């Protein structure tokens, strides 16, 4: 008797080619439902509709088609258990040797603009996951294919094994089946979680947090050559860096991607004005605003040209010829921008190893951040609060001018993205000194002021956390700093405020801390 395959796919890529090979080379017969049956019939391939095979019509507008004992009995029957074989014979059920199923396009549907909740709900597949799970469970006796990319490998396996795929191959396919249904269910749960009725506990994270992804590519190594690494995409629709276009350059590395995300986070703070940032080890060595993107990059580069060597550059405006020329004057690992004109592309091509990426939307990022620890992981809401100077408190006798307030805002936005303890010194909307990741705040202050040098005179200083003592305020004043922005909240805030008044500084408290560990 011919072997039986059940084909029921939403994505019909490669379906006809697979089916034709199964009929002509391996003597398969098909049962199928809905659009899959029609596609096979239109291609001149013999097929029995599921409704004809089960004797039960499709009902509820197609919601119930394959949920039937003749289907699931044929999938789940153990061929080496006599009772199972007897049940098949007594109920006129044929054993199914191959199940080819992929699911309704739920993630593609919810990715569409304006999709409604009822529209999304109708794309939640029920029969498909049931068949996928059943076939995956019974991999000892049949094969499950859930991805068109598997079809060619399956046919090769059939030829290699005289039509009987190995247990190892079937188990590998079963694993892919379970991973597929797991990812599918997680996408549905995440969507419904984001679309539930708001409560007075909107800030709470879910009791169960799931994270899954499909490997996009294997990376040469992780942070160091002895560490393996891979890049995973969450969801089936490319977003964020998975949707970026690489115009040129070598393959992206693990460290490149980590630094690119740090650069994206900083540049997303600046929308209305051309801005550029240069990143090394996730910290900005230069960030600046300008009248043009060319000017902004020059200012950012000149802020610390030594550290800029081998850096990651993010621009919030398309790359033009002038900016491209400047970019080629030093060694850079990566450049990302929302666009790049043709003349700029030709100029950048002279540095063919530089990775140039186009990411039109640099502002959209994850809603949560995740860190893995031994035995679990930590999840927190992203630090995406928008700075609002109207909520800041000027606590000194001296008041900031409008220009000083804008400079304080610039320094505060950059400081938010520097590793704690973080200090940023700025002037003319350009970072002049950055103190990052020190074990004490005084150390970060000294590093930032030393880097700024003479430029610290008349400059602004931002601190991501409060000053526990007034020593940093006095050190800043001695270097020529004229205004300080910090969150406040120390038991000894008054000591710092008093020192600022004594030394003629402006001090502004934001009321918001921006630690970055």
**Which active-site residues does the annotation give?**
137, 281
> Residues near 198 by Cβ (< 8 Å), separated by ≥ 6?
none
What CA–CA distance (Å, rounded) separates 409 from 322? 28
From the list 190, 63, 180, the residue with the least C-alpha distance to 133 is 180
Q: How far apart are the first and last CA of the chain?
A: 65
Query: Whole-angstrom Cα distance, residue 450 to residue 102?
Result: 61
| Torsions phi, psi for 280 (to 5 deg) | -135, 125
List Cα–Cα distances, 512 to 83, 211, 385, 386, in angstroms: 68, 29, 9, 10
Both tokens of 32, joined, read 């199928």
The contacts found for 187-195 with CB under 8 angstroms, 24 or more apart, are 187/106, 187/107, 187/110, 187/235, 187/236, 188/106, 188/124, 191/106, 191/110, 191/120, 195/117, 195/120
323 sits in which H/E element = helix 321-327
Alpha-carbon distance 412 to 392, whole Å?
A: 12
Nearest CA-CA partner of 259 in 238, 294, 284, 289: 284
């Amino acid at each position: 008797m011919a072997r039986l395959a059940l084909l029921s796919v939403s994505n019909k890529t490669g379906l006809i080619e697979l089916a034709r090979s199964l009929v002509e080379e391996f003597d398969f017969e098909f049962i199928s439902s809905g659009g899959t049956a029609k596609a096979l019939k239109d291609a001149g391939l013999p097929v029995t509709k599921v409704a004809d095979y089960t004797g039960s019509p499709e009902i509820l507008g197609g919601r119930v088609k394959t949920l039937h004992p003749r289907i699931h009995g044929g999938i789940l029957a153990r061929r080496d258990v006599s009772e199972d074989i007897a049940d098949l014979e007594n109920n006129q059920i044929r054993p199914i040797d191959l199940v080819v199923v992929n699911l309704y396009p739920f993630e593609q549907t919810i990715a569409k603009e304006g999709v409604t909740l009822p529209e999304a709900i109708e794309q939640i597949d029920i029969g498909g996951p049931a068949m996928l799970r059943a076939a995956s469970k019974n991999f000892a006796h049949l094969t499950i294919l859930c991805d068109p990319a598997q079809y060619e490998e399956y046919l090769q396996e059939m030829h290699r094994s005289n039509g009987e795929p190995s247990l190892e191959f079937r188990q590998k396919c079963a694993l892919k089946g379970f991973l597929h249904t797991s990812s599918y269910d997680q996408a549905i749960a995440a969507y419904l979680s984001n679309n539930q009725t708001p409560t007075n506990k909107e800030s709470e994270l879910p009791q169960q947090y799931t994270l899954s992804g499909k490997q996009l590519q294997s990376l040469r190594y992780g942070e160091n050559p002895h560490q393996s690494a891979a890049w995973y995409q969450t969801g089936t629709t490319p977003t964020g860096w998975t949707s970026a276009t690489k115009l040129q350059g070598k393959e992206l590395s693990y460290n490149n991607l980590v630094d690119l995300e740090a650069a994206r986070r900083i540049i997303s703070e600046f929308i209305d004005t051309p801005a550029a940032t240069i990143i090394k080890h996730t910290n900005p060595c230069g960030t600046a605003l300008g009248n043009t993107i060319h000017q902004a990059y020059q200012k950012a580069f000149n802020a610390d040209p030594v550290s800029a060597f081998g850096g990651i550059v993010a621009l919030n405006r398309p790359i033009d010829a002038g900016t491209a020329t400047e970019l080629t004057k030093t060694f850079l690992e990566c450049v990302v921008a929302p666009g790049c004109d043709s003349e700029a592309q030709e100029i950048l091509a002279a540095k063919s190893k530089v990775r140039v990426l186009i990411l039109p939307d640099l502002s959209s990022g994850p809603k949560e951040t995740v860190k893995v620890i031994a035995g679990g992981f930590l999840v927190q809401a992203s630090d995406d609060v928008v700075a609002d100077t109207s909520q800041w408190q000027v606590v000194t006798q001296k008041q900031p001018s409008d220009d000083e307030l804008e400079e304080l805002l610039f320094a505060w936005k950059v400081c938010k993205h520097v590793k704690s303890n973080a200090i940023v010194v700025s002037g003319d909307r350009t970072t002049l000194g950055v103190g990052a990741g020190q074990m004490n705040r005084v150390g970060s202050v000294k590093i930032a002021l030393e880097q700024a040098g003479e430029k610290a005179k008349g400059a602004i200083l931002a601190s991501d956390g409060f000053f526990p003592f007034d020593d940093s305020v006095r050190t800043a004043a001695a270097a020529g700093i004229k205004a300080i922005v910090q969150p406040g909240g120390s038991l000894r805030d008054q000591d710092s405020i008093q020192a600022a008044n004594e030394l003629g500084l402006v001090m502004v408290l934001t009321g918001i801390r921006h630690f970055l560990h």
